[in-house]
């Protein structure tokens, strides 16, 4: 241990190891041992609904195509598309039917069937924190991969509703709002971004208003959504090609959007450039807590490799720092819960990146909610507020 301590101190990450990475292992271990409640009856009902929908969709699909074919088979579907002169993007009922059938097939075969084999009424997962960015991931099973609710033929399909609280408890979800954007504002000190994140109202309407130089009242839903996608595209190091595919626009239009974004938020572009210069010099980047990720190919002579590594470097700083903030919030919460009336009455059951879900005894529900919200919003000191979104319910799919 002394050798490890010495090695970590030499590269200035011992404090991160001692104050964040080690305490978080205990918290995750407790989460794994407590498990997440599972409603098997809901799973059986959902499975029956999905099976009936798949049979109905298959019948409609065969009527539309005029032949029977395996909707799961890429080869058979390709033959049908060729015969009917369709593509995967054609506005045709058959294309929609096949897409819905495959979505249902994935829901049933990948998720429902697996959880139906769980022996008791609780799911126990494994967690790890050794990802490149420091984000916590889950496996065996991966609850972070449970799909959101969706509607097919007027049926609401909610796998998340199968994950429930104990009978005398309530699930409480607290989710950081735009945490990665707030991390970027804090690190870049961009004045326009700081102003948008400290002003009242919808963040992306505010940003869109500043970007396009129009009143907030003139920002439509489409413009807001486009602004949001570009913002997160820049955070994830998205290039013009990927952005054009995401927004379904030309690459020239994507280049123009990126250029406009950089000119509207010059502090962000300046910060990104500084990060890359430092990375080229040192061969690494650091997150908010001091976590290090090395990039030995940052100075690659191959343009494709170099641009990919540059995107990864920026993404690591932002995404890794967001993971730092969530971990720090978890550690502070755990200490507070262990010391008072909430001890043994509040249990972490789920970590979904920027969102934490707790199983809370109803007798302390109000106090627990107040404590969790207050602690998460004050987890770290940033240049901008760190608001959270609060929801509660009897199941994961029922959170409101």
Strand partners for 37: 122, 164
Q: Is the dihedral of CA 70, 75, 81, 86 positive or negative?
A: positive
* pLDDT the model gives residue 1: 67
303-324: pLDDT as tens digits: 999 989 999 999 999 999 999 9
In a domain, 242, yes or no: yes
Q: Let me know whether 64 and 194 are in one domain.
A: no
Q: Let me know whether 101 and 234 are in one domain.
A: no
* pLDDT the model gives residue 397: 96
In a domain, 158, yes or no: no
Is the pLDDT reported for residue 117 higher than 70? yes
In the chain, the percentage of residues whose pLDDT exceeds 90 is 78
Q: Let me know whether 317 and 187 are in one domain.
A: yes
CA atoms of 189 and 237, how far apart (whole Å): 19
Among 30-34, 264-268, 321-325, which stretch is predicted with the lowest mean pLDDT? Answer: 264-268
In a domain, 264, yes or no: yes
Q: Let me know whether 225 and 315 are in one domain.
A: yes
Half-sphere exposure of 224 (CA within 13 A, CB side): 13
Strand partners for 172: 358, 392
* pLDDT the model gives residue 246: 82
Q: Let me know whether 187 and 320 are in one domain.
A: yes
Is the pLDDT reported for residue 5 higher than 90? no
CA atoms of 292 and 26, how far apart (whole Å): 22
Supply the CATH number for residue 189's domain. Answer: 1.10.150.20
In a domain, 259, yes or no: yes
Q: Let me know whether 306 and 219 are in one domain.
A: yes
Q: Let me know whether 218 and 299 are in one domain.
A: yes
Domain endpoint, select from 297, 324, 351 = 324
- Mean pLDDT (the chain, rounded): 93
pLDDT tier for residue 27 given thresholds of 50, 70 and 90: very high
In a domain, 300, yes or no: yes
Is residue 317 within 8 A of residue 275, CB to CB? The reply is yes
Domain enclosing residue 260, as ranges: 180-324
Domain endpoint, select from 298, 324, 350 = 324
* pLDDT the model gives residue 310: 93
Q: Let me know whether 103 and 211 are in one domain.
A: no
Q: Let me know whether 194 and 317 are in one domain.
A: yes
Eight-class DSSP state of 256: H
Average pLDDT for 120-130: 92
DSSP string, 10-51: HTT-HHHIIIIIHHHHHHHHHHHHH-EEE-HHHHHHHHHHHH
Average pLDDT for 134-149: 93
Between residues 176 and 264, which one has the greater pLDDT? Answer: 176
Q: Let me know whether 200 and 274 are in one domain.
A: yes
Q: At what angle do helices 251-264 and 240-247 cross, to 10 degrees?
A: 110
68-87: pLDDT as tens digits: 999 999 999 999 999 999 99
Q: What are phi and psi of 62, to 5 degrees?
A: -70, -35
Is residue 285 within 8 A of residue 317, CB to CB? The reply is yes
Is residue 136 within 8 A of residue 129, CB to CB? The reply is yes
Among 132-141, 181-190, 224-233, 293-302, which stretch is predicted with the lowest mean pLDDT? Answer: 224-233
383-392: pLDDT as tens digits: 999 999 999 9
49-52 contacts at long range (C-beta below 8 A, 24 or more positions apart): 49/155, 49/157, 50/104, 50/107, 50/108, 50/112, 50/157, 51/108
Q: Which residues contact 19 (CB under 8 A, 6 or more apart)?
A: 331
Domain endpoint, select from 293, 324, 355 = 324
* pLDDT the model gives residue 170: 98
Number of structural domains in the chain: 2
In a domain, 105, yes or no: yes
In a domain, 296, yes or no: yes
Q: Where are the beta strands (DSSP E) in the chain?
A: 36-38, 122-123, 126-128, 137-139, 150-152, 155-157, 163-164, 169-176, 284-286, 292-294, 346-352, 355-361, 388-393
Average pLDDT for 107-133: 93
| Its pTM surpasses 0.85 | yes
217-263: pLDDT as tens digits: 999 998 999 888 888 888 777 778 888 888 888 888 888 888 888 88
Reduced to 3 states (helix: H, G, I; strand: E, B; else coil), residue 289 is coil
Q: Let me know whether 192 and 305 are in one domain.
A: yes
Q: Which residues contact 399 (CB under 8 A, 6 or more apart)?
A: 171, 173, 391, 392, 393
In a domain, 91, yes or no: yes
Q: Let me know whether 201 and 291 are in one domain.
A: yes
* pLDDT the model gives residue 6: 86
Tell me the Cα Rg of the chain: 24
* pLDDT the model gives residue 242: 83
Of residues 234, 231, 224, 216, the one with CA closest to residue 178 = 231
CA atoms of 160 and 165, how far apart (whole Å): 12
Is the pLDDT reported for residue 264 higher than 80? yes
Among 197-201, 292-296, 313-317, which stretch is predicted with the lowest mean pLDDT? Answer: 197-201
């Amino acid at each position: 241990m002394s050798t490890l301590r010495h090695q970590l101190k030499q590269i200035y990450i011992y404090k991160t190891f001692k104050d964040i990475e080690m305490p978080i292992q205990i918290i995750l271990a407790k989460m794994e041992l407590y498990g997440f409640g599972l409603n098997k009856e809901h799973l059986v009902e959902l499975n029956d609904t999905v099976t009936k929908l798949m049979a109905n969709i298959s019948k409609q699909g065969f009527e539309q195509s005029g032949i029977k074919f395996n909707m799961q088979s890429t080869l058979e579907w390709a033959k049908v598309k060729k015969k009917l002169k369709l593509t995967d993007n054609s506005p045709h009922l058959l294309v929609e039917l096949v897409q819905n059938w495959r979505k249902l097939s994935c829901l049933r075969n990948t998720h429902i069937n697996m959880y139906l084999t769980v022996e008791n009424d609780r799911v126990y997962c494994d967690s790890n924190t050794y990802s490149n960015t420091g984000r916590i991931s889950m496996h065996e099973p991966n609850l972070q991969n449970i799909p959101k609710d969706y509607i097919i033929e007027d049926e609401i399909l909610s796998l998340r509703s199968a994950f429930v609280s104990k009978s005398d408890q309530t699930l409480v979800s607290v989710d950081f709002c735009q945490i990665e954007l707030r991390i970027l504002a804090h690190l870049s000190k961009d004045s326009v971004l700081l102003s948008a994140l400290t002003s009242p109202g919808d963040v992306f309407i505010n940003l869109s208003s500043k970007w396009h130089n129009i009143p907030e009242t003139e920002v439509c839903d489409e413009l807001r959504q486009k602004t949001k996608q570009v913002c997160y595209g820049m955070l994830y190091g998205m290039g013009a090609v990927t952005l054009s595919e995401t927004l379904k626009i030309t690459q020239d239009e994507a280049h123009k959007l990126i250029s406009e974004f950089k000119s509207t938020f010059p502090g962000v572009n300046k910060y990104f450039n500084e990060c890359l210069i430092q990375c080229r010099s040192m061969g690494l980047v650091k997150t908010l807590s001091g976590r290090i990720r090395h990039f030995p190919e940052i100075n690659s002579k191959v343009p494709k490799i170099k641009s990919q590594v540059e995107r990864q470097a920026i993404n690591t700083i932002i995404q890794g720092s967001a993971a730092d903030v969530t971990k720090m919030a978890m550690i502070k919460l755990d200490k507070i819960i262990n010391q008072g009336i909430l001890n043994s009455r509040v249990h972490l059951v789920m970590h979904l990146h920027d969102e934490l879900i707790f199983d809370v005894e109803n007798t302390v529900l109000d106090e627990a909610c107040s404590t969790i919200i207050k602690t998460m919003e004050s987890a770290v000191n940033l240049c901008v507020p760190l608001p959270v979104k609060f929801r509660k319910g009897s199941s994961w799919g029922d959170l409101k």
